[in-house]
Structure 1
């Protein structure tokens, strides 16, 4: 147990630093892209590129990590690359230049979260740490940064959005440098073929369910701020709505150990689907903050419960020798390929349907709930490689 407080603190600081960047990017980056003269459909393509690039970088990084270990070193390199490539936006003008800058910067930055999750999950197993209580510091950082940013970024020069992201990336580099490292001991577990995992129907169902849930957030991530700003909501209200959803997520993460013990990963993932159908239907129907506020509380389930359930599924179902590759595949598919394709469509959907585009997202959430049922029936709760799934 020696060193647990120190490891917990360093991992928590890493999530706080990383999500200080996400707290700027997620709500306000579309405004920055709009200031570059890009139309809604073009913004959809740019945002989609940041998701789709994960399909190449994250599995490759997972393979390298499982083979050679050294997660901290990889995170430091990624932080340096992310910081340097993000500066390219100072000179990027026009769709093609912005797209190129997005591909380069996103290739590094989007790999930092799954590799950090892999390190945290391994630390949680070795040192009996609570993943949820570590991960919630990222959510708290998002709340503070997105809420404070709403006070001035809406009306400030759009270059302030880019400068804020760069400041957060400097903090992320400092945080990566002080992370613990867990070198993988040589052994047969490192040599397990990834094909064994990809041949398991329960793992494929898991990827499908989580992909649909992540994809259902794309109109929200890409166009909620633009939609609410066009409806006359102030920057303070918009920042508050974003922060409120993540506050609910933090509460769920704080109770994560008890929720997992009571319901298990499968039920939490299924719950995210039902919550998404309700949440997106409300966002489609109104821009009145009196109705948006309670709907935003459902973020605790649409993202929080889904993510917590997914991380515990990986922790329980995947052998240690496949953990980084499994995390990379999970990230590439569920937060890369599928939501990236959804983001490509989201620009045109929002341009054509406006707020009613959220109804399409509600249908994706219902599909996720439906697929979660056979996933739960197939998985007994143990390892899915080398053992029967149930």
Structure 2
């Protein structure tokens, strides 16, 4: 696909573009770094059981699979995507204040659902601005995006220290402060005008490109990657609750989450050197087996007397079970999907990943309530289902 020529306005690089996008990524992941590990602790703190926690965490995931492509397609038609980003960050901040209302099940679930509609698009909208800079000005995406991972890590550690002093009741306050910081930085986001082509999650592009992507190999592959990623659902929903139940403090819990991010960043840094020559399908199959090992071993570390050292070992495998899956999917799209269908492929991968994660997260509440830490054995089986789908992709590719 040949891109339309740049207009004179589009050829003008905004002042300090890379710095402003880097700050945007850093601010974006501050509240995320609090929400992912500590929001379940707050839900438990205010009196919700495992089943209720599972629904509150899963329902927004189902909703965002539908709404995020619509939002990004709308942003493509707006005068400037940065203005849409500012509006959605401001709405997220206001909606997050709903967690200060009486924490009834109906209120918390309702706030979480509506908040997901406005919060989830922050990342793809920022990605679209960054990628426009890559295409127009030759900016380095990885050097800007790495500040998001670094910010997430800092939020994990700082959040653990704060909660160790204040308790889980402070989570809504920290989230609101994080979103307020994101809003302040979003006001400084560079204005680039309309994009030259649809953003990665454009619903219109996905519909147009569907016939050329609906091959068994592609569908099995993105589905398998999505299921492997979804095997993390029990960890995301109840990992912090499980660790706290063992007597592990919030500071150490923050370090455990941060260590997983460190492992993922290391994978990003050395991926090309060690895995650049490996086919995407083999990478994903390897990641699937590593995920099976991670979840099968997860409940055993404490029983074997390894304490938090064992959990740090398990979190090290995040580099493979998450980082390698993400990179493997992107490598597959880059090597096998034509440029004019890249956005549609990204949308399909987002849908597969989001739907699988939401399904597993929804089941994680009853699962944790019934089995506790033994539920991670089930997650090993979920990762195994992803491997089966990938093996079907390999067979389809060979025929």
| CA shift digits 1:80-109 (9 cap, x unpaired) | 221111111111421111110000111111
> 1:111/1:250 Cα in 2 relative to 1: closer, same or farther (>3 Å)?
same
The Cα shift of 1:289 comes to 1.2
Aligned to 2:5: none
The answer as to 2:172 corresponding to 1:185 is: no
> 1:205/1:103 Cα in 2 relative to 1: closer, same or farther (>3 Å)?
same
Q: How is 1:1-390 mapped onto 2 (pairs within 5 angstroms)?
A: 6-65=16-75, 70-177=80-187, 178-179=189-190, 181=192, 183-185=194-196, 193-258=208-273, 261-263=276-278, 265-287=280-302, 288-315=307-334, 317-318=336-337, 324=343, 326-335=345-354, 337-375=355-393
| Matched-pair contact (CA < 8 Å) for 1:17–1:172 | yes
Give me the whole-angstrom Cα distance separating, in 2, the residues matched to 1:96 and 1:183. Answer: 39
Give me the whole-angstrom Cα distance separating, in 2, the residues matched to 1:67 and 1:2. Answer: 20
> 1:45/1:318 Cα in 2 relative to 1: closer, same or farther (>3 Å)?
same
SS of 2:36's equivalent in the other structure is helix
The Cα shift of 1:156 comes to 1.3
Give me the whole-angstrom Cα distance separating, in 2, the residues matched to 1:179 and 1:296. Answer: 36
Higher Cα radius of gyration: 2
Aligned to 1:383: none
Runs (4 or more) in structure 1 with deviation over 6 Å come to 189-192, 377-380
| Matched-pair contact (CA < 8 Å) for 1:40–1:347 | yes
| Matched-pair contact (CA < 8 Å) for 1:114–1:328 | no
The Cα shift of 1:237 comes to 1.8
> 1:105/1:37 Cα in 2 relative to 1: closer, same or farther (>3 Å)?
same
| CA shift digits 1:340-365 (9 cap, x unpaired) | 11111101111111111111111122
* TM-score computed with the length of structure 2 as normaliser: 0.84
The Cα shift of 1:321 comes to 5.5
> 1:325/1:345 Cα in 2 relative to 1: closer, same or farther (>3 Å)?
same
| Matched-pair contact (CA < 8 Å) for 1:274–1:369 | yes
Structure 2 runs not aligned, ≥5 long: 1-10
Structure 1 runs not aligned, ≥5 long: 381-389
Give me the whole-angstrom Cα distance separating, in 2, the residues matched to 1:213 and 1:19. Answer: 23
Give me the whole-angstrom Cα distance separating, in 2, the residues matched to 1:51 and 1:197. Answer: 27
Paired residues, what number? 379
What is the RMSD of the two structures over their aligned residues, measured on CA atoms? 3.1
Give me the whole-angstrom Cα distance separating, in 1, the residues matched to 2:186 and 2:270. Answer: 26
